[in-house]
Copies of this chain bind each other. A is one copy, B any other.
Amino acid sequence: MFSLMTKLFPICRSITGNGNRETLKIIQEIIPINIFEVESGTQVFDWTVPNEWNIKDAYVMNSKKEKIIDFKKNNLHILNYSIPVNLTCNLEELKKHLYTLPNYPNFIPYLTSYYKNNWGFCISYNNYLKLKDDTYHVVIDSELKHGSLTYGELIIKGQTEQEILFSTYICHPSMCNDCLSGIVVNTYLAKYILSLNNKYTYRFVFVPETIGSIVYLHKNLDIMKKNIIGGYTITCCGDNGDFTYMKTRLENQLTDRVTLHVLNNSNIKFKIRDFMMAGSDERQYNYPNIDLNIGSLMRTKYQEFPEYHTSGDNLNFNSEKNLQETYDMYIKCINIFEHNDKYMVNTTCEPHLSKYGLHSDIGGNKIFNDSSLILQFLYYCDGRDLLSIAEKIKIHIWNLYELSSTLLEKNIIKKI
Among B46, B48, B118, the residue within 8 A (CB) of A349 is B46
Q: Given the interface contacts A112-B364, A362-B112, A366-B310, does A284 sit within 8 Å of B379 by beta carbon?
A: no
Q: Could you list some 11 contacts between A and B, CB below 8 A?
A: A44-B349, A111-B362, A111-B363, A111-B364, A115-B354, A116-B361, A276-B376, A276-B393, A286-B379, A288-B380, A290-B349
User: What mask results when residues 348 to 392 of chain A are scored 1 for a CB within 8 Å of chain B, else 0?
Assistant: 111110110000011111101000000110111111000000001
Q: Say whether A128 faces chain B, with CB atoms less than 8 Å apart.
A: no
Q: Given the interface contacts A278-B379, A287-B345, A289-B345, does A363 sit within 8 Å of B114 by beta carbon?
A: yes
Q: Say whether A144 faces chain B, with CB atoms less than 8 Å apart.
A: no
Please name the residue on chain B nearest to A345 by beta carbon: B288
Give, as a whole number of angstroms, the nearest-CB distance from A104 to chain B: 8
A52-B35 Cα distance, complex, nearest whole Å: 75
Among B284, B288, B290, B382, the residue within 8 A (CB) of A381 is B288
A213-B288 Cα distance, complex, nearest whole Å: 44
Q: Is the CB of B382 within 8 A of A289?
A: yes
Chain B residues whose C-beta falls within 8 Å of the C-beta of A99 in the assembled complex = 362
Q: Say whether A344 faces chain B, with CB atoms less than 8 Å apart.
A: yes
Q: Is the CB of B350 within 8 A of A210?
A: yes
For window 310-348 of A, CB contacts with B under 8 Å fall at 310, 344-345, 347-348
Q: List chain A positions with a Cβ less than 8 A from chain B.
A: 44-48, 79-80, 99, 101, 109-116, 118, 210, 213-214, 217-218, 221, 249, 275-276, 278, 283-284, 286-290, 303, 308-310, 344-345, 347-352, 354-355, 361-366, 368, 375-376, 378-383, 392-393
Among B217, B361, B379, the residue within 8 A (CB) of A275 is B379
Q: Is the CB of A80 within 8 A of B364?
A: yes
Q: Is the CB of A276 within 8 A of B392?
A: yes
Q: Given the interface contacts A364-B309, A366-B308, A382-B289, does A284 sit within 8 Å of B110 by beta carbon?
A: no
Chain B residues whose C-beta falls within 8 Å of the C-beta of A382 in the assembled complex = 288-289
Chain B residues whose C-beta falls within 8 Å of the C-beta of A109 in the assembled complex = 364-366
Among B303, B354, B366, the residue within 8 A (CB) of A309 is B366
A10-B247 Cα distance, complex, nearest whole Å: 62
Give, as a whole number of angstroms, the nearest-CB distance from A316 to chain B: 19
Q: Is the CB of B46 within 8 A of A347?
A: yes
Among B112, B213, B365, B393, the residue within 8 A (CB) of A363 is B112
Q: Is the CB of A366 within 8 A of B288?
A: no
Give, as a whole number of angstroms, the nearest-CB distance from A382 to chain B: 4
Please name the residue on chain B nearest to A381 by beta carbon: B288
Q: Is the CB of A350 within 8 A of B46?
A: yes
Q: Given the interface contacts A46-B351, A347-B46, A376-B276, does A361 sit within 8 Å of B115 by beta carbon?
A: yes
A101-B113 Cα distance, complex, nearest whole Å: 78
